[in-house]
Amino acid sequence: MTDKTAFTRFQTIAAQEIARLNLGGRITPFPGTQWVASSLLQKAIRRNLPHVAGQAGRFLLEVKREHLLRRLNAIASEDIGLADIETVAITAACLKSAKVRRDLGGEVIVTDYLIRRMCAARKSRSADDLLMTVERLPRLAPDRINFAQYSDARLRQIILGCPSLDQRALALWYLFGTKRCASDHLLFRKGNPDMAWDTLAELGIAPTMLLIARENFTKTVTMLAPYMSLLSLQNDVVSDRVKDDPTPVEIAINCNPSWGFDMYTRPGRAALHRLLLRNAGLAAWAADFLPKHGRVQILGELLFRIEGQCLSRRADGAFGTELRERWEQECAGVSPEAVEHGLAVLRNVLPDLNAIRADIAAEGLI
């Protein structure tokens, strides 16, 4: 199947589904900033909340159009992935060009449709779990230094022949190059993306999967799509069964869910800082387990484990579950004991955090 044929097929599916839906109607204006909207868009898609996600998407389409289009592709590979590869493909096909979107009814119609489809999709975060493992797994620390010095040919050999998925994934990242796919945890390497894609093809990844991944990568320039391809060769990454993750307590803040105010928004980061200062239990945990610097960052990453990554229709198989649990427990930059204690304390103080978030919103720091 050629590139053009594959994407025409997915665009045809989109056109047929769009024709059956009532899209493009009026939506209540979004009450917040583009950073909160961006956070809510992704988290609401994860939780299958199409009204919240659609409201944020419409706002971003008006104020930060290119960001929205990139983010939708990123969400597809990060949060849906192998659980619903057709949705990933349709997203890539619809966002391939402005002409495609015009032919499908315009950008409002297309983005409304994609958001609705992604909300309802089966979901897997395994590509992102693998990405964060490659960056942070302690036992990969020597390889993160050594692999950066290897030749393209040596990296190719590792990808094709090494039994360790972690080492193959790290070698693949360096073969793509951190010049293009930057990481704070990896050394600089120019890379050879064409050779990287050829190597994935040599591994035996299905041609259509590679077409989808390459188109997604063109728009996102992250390792999510290549890792999605790499994981397609693994057994039990996804399952036929789905379940909804439990979600913690939440409140409405300026008509928005409190979980939208994460550490990547200004009010969310300020709230975490205040919580560390005000809550005795959390302060004691930080004093016992955390370095003096970077505590808000670590706390924010633990909060992501509790409320940020919650999925509706999670379709993890046994291997996908193993990837997620390993990332959660071993890749926080602190000891497993610190993670366990920190998660327990943070779950207990979520009502306090939500109250602080509301206070900050009332102070006008949104």
Of 42, 99, 85, residue with least CA distance to 265: 42
Q: How confident is the model at residue 26 (pLDDT cuts 50, 70, 90)?
A: confident
- Length of the chain measured in residues: 366
Q: Is the predicted pLDDT of residue 89 greater than 60, yes or no?
A: yes
Query: Domain span at residue 60?
Result: 3-120
Q: Is the predicted pLDDT of residue 350 greater than 60, yes or no?
A: yes
Amino acid at 66: E
Residue-level pLDDT at 365: 62
Are residues 179 and 146 both part of a single domain? Answer: yes
Residue-level pLDDT at 28: 86
Amino acid at 290: L
Q: The tokens of 203 are what?
A: 């591994």
Of 120, 146, 162, the domain-final residue: 120
Would the pTM of this model clear 0.85, i.e. be above it?
Answer: yes
The secondary element (H helix, E strand) that includes residue 273 is helix 266-278
Q: Is the predicted pLDDT of residue 334 greater than 60, yes or no?
A: yes
Q: Is 95 helix (H, G, I), strand (E, B) or coil?
A: coil
Q: Is residue 245 one of the residues assigned to a domain?
A: no
Q: Is residue 267 one of the residues assigned to a domain?
A: yes
Q: Strand pairing partners for 123?
A: 314
Provide the domain count of the chain: 3
Are residues 263 and 319 both part of a single domain? Answer: yes
Query: What mean pLDDT is predicted for residues 269-281?
Result: 96
Amino acid at 139: R
Q: Is the predicted pLDDT of residue 286 greater than 60, yes or no?
A: yes
Are residues 105 and 140 both part of a single domain? Answer: no
Instruction: Tell me how far CA of residue 93 lies from CA of 64, 89, 179, 346, in angstroms.
Output: 21, 6, 26, 41
Are residues 166 and 230 both part of a single domain? Answer: yes
Q: Is residue 194 one of the residues assigned to a domain?
A: yes
Of 71, 99, 120, the domain-final residue: 120
User: CA-to-CA distance for 325 and 327, rounded, in angstroms?
Assistant: 5
**Average pLDDT of the chain, as a whole number:** 96
Are residues 73 and 26 both part of a single domain? Answer: yes
